Amino acid sequence: MADLSQEDWEKQLEADNNAVVLDVRTQEEVDEGIIPNAIHIDIHKGQGFIYELEKLDKTKNYYVYCRSGARSGQACGIMNQLDFKNTYNLVGGIMGWQGDIVNQD
């Protein structure tokens, strides 16, 4: 896991053609807006969160965020334990995000 600043996260994400953006916030938080093309898996689902992670491709690079960076850091740790090789935590979370935010359909 790597903690990346907003600037580094965005720059690295832009250049990464093997990237997946993962939002680990609650559904209520996601309803307020999401980073474009992110997939959503709520970390508060407990074992359900693990089941959802197990369905993902572990060869991808995961750019993980939450509201402030704490839950996404936990999520990256869990993912590393599940043998995900490359996870990147967005320091400051979506609260500090300067890029686009869209409403989920």
Token pair in block for residue 88: 């990147």
Amino acid type, 12: Q
The verdict on whether 66 is a catalytic residue reads yes
Quote the CA–CA distance of 105 and 68 in Å, as a whole number.
23
SS3 content of the chain, % helix, strand, coil (to 5): 40, 20, 40
Q: Which of 66, 78, 79, 94 is catalytic?
A: 66
What's CA 29's distance to the chain center, in Å? 14
Question: Any idea which residues carry the catalytic annotation?
Answer: 66
